[in-house]
Amino acid sequence: MSDQAPTVEPTYVISTSALAKRFKDIDAVAGVDLRVPAGGVYGFLGPNGAGKTTTIRMLLGLIRPTRGTASLFGEQVASGRAVLDRVGALVERPAFYPYLSAADNLRLFGFTRGMAESRLRTAVPEALDRVGLTETRKRKAGRFSTGMRQRLGIAAALLGNPELVILDEPANGLDPNGVVDVRNLISNLARDGITIFLSSHVLPEVEQLCDRVAILQRGRVIAEGATQEMLRQGERLYVRFETAADTERARPVLATLGDVSDVDGGILSIPKRPGEEALRPLVEAGLYPAELYVKRHTLESVFIELTGDHEPAPPVGGTA
């Protein structure tokens, strides 16, 4: 994972402008602006019902936006546009013809994609092998477990060597080994130069994989940026005192360094800064903290903090 700081005008693989979708009286997506650069893994996060899948469906031409535009590789998305042929996608629970075997489902998908029989003869076994379904290639998809269907969906998304792969909850229904396999698969794809647009609830995975993330809530992007930058912005310095009186005396001292927050257990927090910088005014005021540490934010805590669905997670990380 690396921060991307393009020095030239970046090429956006995905770009949306005020993209919106209204279902009857519900704004599922209420004006999303996205810029996904080429290469790397882009995380697309949000709580349930935030509008992630609807946005993805609009990107893929499955749903028509109520307003706004969505473009892939600089070309506006619409049914029948050739640009969609450059995209592979897994959307929600993948659906397959239950009476066809895994291999036949992929052949059917390949034919529909315009791939020649001769190419499919090698591409289908390769795709099945990539997702670990070689042994069950002849089994009918109707008899597949959720996890196996998910793997088959990923195989279908990769068929035809797309330049952009959109994965909506690829780890759904997968066992722990499957989750690791998918993570490795995504890493490998990104290494091969394929842009991955990943929507997932497995935030530790996203944190490990994604170069950039966008967080969606109630149909709007509420945060977007490089993952590391986002994590850094959330980091705070935590100061604990032995007595409540010291804590109260320390509050105005710390307030000179930034906004002070109360954390349970008589702990105060301020925006992250070097320990000595915080320690000096405290010592000058005759205050000696029992503990001083930086909370290393996780994407999960950033997500929870931003979307405000839950209380923040307890701090983790080492003392400063």
Partner 1 sequence: MSGLIRAELLRFRKRRSLQIIVIAIPLLVTFFFIVGFASIEQPPPPFDEAAVRARLLAENFGGYVPEELKPLLDESVEQERYYTEQSREQITIARSGYAFPQSVVTVFGFGTFLFFALILLTATTIGDDFGWATIRTTLLASSHRVRLLAVRLGALGAIALGLIASLLFLGVSLPATLGAVGVQFPPAAPVNVGGLAVLLAGMFETSLIVISFAAMATLLVRSGSLTLVVMLVYVVIEASILTLLLRFEAFQDDGPLRWLLDAFPVRGLSTLMEVAGRVASGVPRYEGDVIRSLGDATVPMVAMVIWGTLFAAIAFRRFARMDIAE
**Candidate residues 27, 104, 163, 300; the one interacting with partner 1 per rule CB under 8 A:** 104
Q: Exactly one of 22, 35, 86, 113 binds partner 1 (CB under 8 A); which one? A: 113
Single-letter residue type at 131: V
Region 229-268 residues binding partner 1, contact defined as CB under 8 A: none
Ramachandran category for residue 2: left, alpha or beta (phi over 0 → left; psi -120 to 50 → alpha):
beta
d(CA 99, CA 83): 31
Window 11 to 40, contacts with partner 1 (CB under 8 A): none
**56-85: which residues touch partner 1 (CB under 8 A)?**
57, 60-64, 79-81, 84-85
Give the residue with the Cβ less far from partner 1, 111 or 288. 111
For partner 1, the closer CB: 86 or 296: 86
How many whole angstroms separate alpha carbon 93 and alpha carbon 167?
11
Q: Which is nearer to partner 1, 166 or 171 (CB)?
A: 166
* Least spacing, CB of residue 55 vs partner 1, in Å: 13
Q: Is 224 helix (H, G, I), strand (E, B) or coil?
A: strand
Residues 149-208 binding partner 1 (CB under 8 A) are 156-157
Nearest C-alpha neighbor of 209 from the set 233, 192, 227: 227
Which is nearest to 320 in space by CA: 280, 292, 281? Answer: 292
Q: How far is residue 127's CA from residue 279's CA, in Å, rounded to a whole number?
A: 57
Among 108, 223, 260, 304, binds partner 1 (CB under 8 A): 108
* Beta carbon of residue 169, minimum distance to partner 1 (angstroms, whole number): 14
Least distance in angstroms from the C-beta of 5 to partner 1: 33
Encode burial over 139-153: b for 16+ CB neighbours within 10 A, e otherwise: ebbeebeebbbbbbb
**Total residues in contact with partner 1, by rule CB under 8 A:** 36
Q: Which residue, 95 or 255, has its beta carbon nearer to partner 1?
A: 95
Instruction: Report, in Å, the least distance between residue 61 CB and partner 1.
Output: 5
What distance in Å separates the CA atoms of residue 315 and residue 237, rounded to the nearest whole number?
10
Phi, psi at 310, each rounded to 5°: -140, 170
The tokens of 61 are what? Answer: 């031409």
Instruction: Select from 290, 294, 287 the least CA-distant residue to 269.
Output: 294
Among the listed residues 30, 50, 115, 267, the single contact to partner 1 using CB under 8 A: 115
Contact string 273-292 vs partner 1 (x = CB under 8 A): --------------------
Q: In 3D, which of 40, 23, 3 has the Cα closest to residue 187?
A: 40
Residue numbers at the binding site for partner 1 (CB under 8 A)? 57, 60-64, 79-81, 84-85, 88-89, 91, 93-100, 104, 107-117, 156-157
